Amino acid sequence: MLVAAAVCPCPPLLVPEVAAGAAPELDAARTACSDALSVLAAARPDRLVVIGPAEKAGRGTYPAGTPGSFRGFGADLSVRLGRADGDVVAERELPPSLAVGAWLLERVGWSHAPVEGLGVGESLAPERCVEAGREIGVRPGRIALLVMGDASACRTLKAPGYLDERAAPFDAAAGRALGAADIAALEALDAELARELKAAGRAPWQVLAGAAGNAGLSGTLLYEDAPYGVGYVVAAWS
């Protein structure tokens, strides 16, 4: 049963070693992420699942202790997804979104529950995302989610996807849904529009919607902004 969820953005720029001189610009987002993780800790989960977008289609699982790094973003920094019992022989490294999630957990010293990861293809159909979430939501014990994902990347002329007038309304709707724990609104997000706006969080958010099901969680919006023309949202459900 899902008992809590934290929604955080997943840009590698959240990591100060990657952001370098621009690091202070995302201090408020980092603080909000830490606040969201404190909600997860307070829920006393038996297991934490970190969900984030991945380039590979479909779904991919990552056991506790799977390594990740930010070397591809110019920082000689490695992370691991939680603590593993014994040595872990990983078939692959964490995708960037889950590496950021692992970094956030290390930053707050997460030790409250075992951790595992789920990478969700950005093109995964909404119904399959919801189905994946339902599978998580019916697991035994107290389950918490750390859901990584960005809104549109088209909010300004200098944004990665250039300016698209549809981006601000899309992000506003997503922010309202995440802040209110509105499952129906999240399930209804338009996958094709999200793809055109480069909104990588769409699939993970819809997994969250499926996992929440009838859990009756309420949401709180902790942060919403669009630095660098990319929509970032932080929310906590409990």
User: Which pLDDT score is estimated for 25?
Assistant: 87
DSSP 114-175: -EEEEEEETT--HHHHHHHHHHHHTSSS-EEEEEE----S-SSTTSTT---TTHHHHHHHHH
Domain count for the chain, please give it.
1
Q: Which amino acid does the sequence have at 187?
A: E
**147, 208 Cβ separation under 8 angstroms:** yes
Domain hosting 69: range is: 2-237
Phi, psi of 121, deg, nearest 5: -60, 135
Q: Which helix (H) or strand (E) holds 61?
A: strand 59-62
User: Which pLDDT score is estimated for 21?
Assistant: 80
Q: Is the pTM of this model over 0.85?
A: yes
Q: What b/e string do you get for 89-128 counting C-beta neighbours within 10 Å, with b at 16 or more?
A: eeeebbbbbbbbbbbbbebbebebbbbbbbbbbbbbebeb
Q: Read off the CATH number of the domain in which 203 is found.
A: 3.40.830.10
Q: What is the mean pLDDT of each run of 10 residues along the chain (238 residues)?
A: 97 94 89 98 97 85 95 94 72 93 97 95 95 96 98 96 97 98 98 97 98 94 96 98
Distance, CA of 158 to CA of 161 (rounded, Å):
8
User: Which pLDDT score is estimated for 145?
Assistant: 98
